[in-house]
Amino acid sequence: MNAKWWLSLSLVTVGLACGIAQADGGAADAFQQSYDSEAAGKTADALGAMDALPAPQRDGYVAQLRRGWLLYKLGKSADAVDAYVKASTLQPRSVEARVGLLLPQLALRRWSDVEVGARELLKLDAGNYLANLRLAFAVYNQGRFAEAAGIYQRLAEGYPSDVDVRAGLGWSLFKMGKGSEAAAAFRAVLDIAPRNTLAAEGLKALGAGR
């Protein structure tokens, strides 16, 4: 083996290493551009930076997770579902991907899908606040008000100051015909959040005052 052969091999090795470094740097730059664009309110540009990634990075877990979020923000909920599903497939035990998936499903009013997704998520993380909250909302929208009230009640015990939980409990009780209990739940919300629309509308529906 002569010196020229070794020199050629060395140059090829260095070239490959530089190419990998540039690719990695390009991906990192694309992620940063996406974050900066989102922070500046340019959500479409933030998504564009993700879509411009080379295939290996674009099809990776983090990119698909981020695409799901950005597509959801842009109102492209069906596409957001697809991106979150891809992310969940790549990382089957990911809690964050499953939590994210619930957002576009809620936007699409796919209540049964939300219920299934939330229950699957709770198998991974039994105490997950968002999974329980969205499960309660999905169950409520399927007309199972007593079940929704039970979930909201358990959440209220862990998050006593959460006005979304309290308002959800109030409406569930209202739909069950438990007017006095519903009014108490709505008033508990308005005591700490006087402009809460859900609670105010609940009391109005009951024909009750503050």
143-210 CATH choice from 3.30.390.50, 1.20.1260.10, 1.25.40.10, 2.60.40.420: 1.25.40.10
* Same fold yes or no, 71-142 and 143-210: yes
pLDDT score, position 63:
96
CATH topology for 71-142 is 1.25.40
The b/e string for 27-38 (b: 16+ C-beta within 10 A; e otherwise) is: beebbebbeebb
Asked whether the beta carbons of 159 and 169 are under 8 A apart, the reply is no
Stretch 28-46: mean pLDDT, rounded? 95
pLDDT (tens digit, 9 = 90+) per residue, 156-178? 999 999 999 999 999 999 999 99
Higher pLDDT, 6 or 27: 27
Determine the longest span between alpha carbons in the chain, in angstroms. Answer: 95
* Residue boundaries of the structural domains of the chain: 21-58, 71-142, 143-210
Identify the band that residue 56 occupies on the pLDDT scale cut at 50, 70 and 90.
confident
Q: What is the DSSP string of the chain?
A: --HHHHHHHHHHHHHHHHHHHHHHHHHHHHHHHHHHHHHTT-HHHHHHHHHTS-HHHHTSHHHHHHHHHHHHHTT-HHHHHHHHHHHHHHSTT-HHHHHHHHHHHHHTT-HHHHHHHHHHHHHH-TT-HHHHHHHHHHHHHTT-HHHHHHHHHHHHHH-TT-HHHHHHHHHHHHHTT-HHHHHHHHHHHHHH-TT-HHHHHHHHHHT---
pLDDT score, position 210:
61
CA dist., res. 14 & res. 10, Å (int)? 6
| Residue 111 to residues 132, 140, 151, 160, Cα–Cα distance (Å) | 14, 9, 16, 26
CA dist., res. 149 & res. 155, Å (int)? 10
Higher pLDDT, 210 or 40: 40
Number of neighbours of residue 145 by Cβ within 10 angstroms: 18
CA dist., res. 173 & res. 203, Å (int)? 12
Stretch 9-22: mean pLDDT, rounded? 36
Q: What is the DSSP string of 151-197?
A: HHHHHHHH-TT-HHHHHHHHHHHHHTT-HHHHHHHHHHHHHH-TT-H
pTM over 0.75: yes
pLDDT score, position 26:
76
Higher pLDDT, 113 or 2: 113
pLDDT (tens digit, 9 = 90+) per residue, 59-97? 999 999 999 999 999 999 999 999 999 999 999 999 999
